[in-house]
Structure 1
Amino acid sequence: MPPKRPPQSSYRNGTGSIALITGIVALVFAFVPIVGDLVTVPTGIVAVVCGWVGFSRADRGLASNHREALTGLALGTAALFVVFLVFVATHAPGG
Structure 2
Amino acid sequence: MTADRSTPVPPRNGAGNTALTAGIVALVFAFVPVIGDFVAIPAGLVAVVCGWIGLERVDRGTATHRREALIGACLGVAALFAVFVVFAAVHSSTG
- The TM-score, its normalising length taken from structure 1, stands at 0.85
How big is each residue's C-alpha offset from its partner over 1:34-78, in whole Å with a ceiling of 9 and x where there is no partner?
Answer: 211110000000000000000111111110000000000000000
Structure 1 partner of 2:21: 21
**Structure 2: which 5+ residue stretches go unaligned?**
1-6
Q: What residue is the counterpart of 2:36 in the other structure?
A: 36
Q: Name stretches of at least 5 consecutive residues in structure 1 with no aligned partner.
A: 1-5
Cα distance in 2 between the residues matched to 1:20 and 1:76: 8
Q: Hey, what does 2:89 align to over in structure 1?
A: 89
Percent identical among aligned pairs is 61
Distance (Å, rounded) in 2 between the aligned partners of 1:23 and 1:77: 8
Tell me what 2:72 maps to.
Answer: 72
TM-score, structure 2 length as denominator? 0.85
- Amino acid aligned to 2:66: H
Aligned pairs, number: 89
Whose Rg is larger?
Answer: 2
Letter in 2 for 1:23: G
Q: 2: distance between equivalents of 1:53 and 1:84?
A: 24
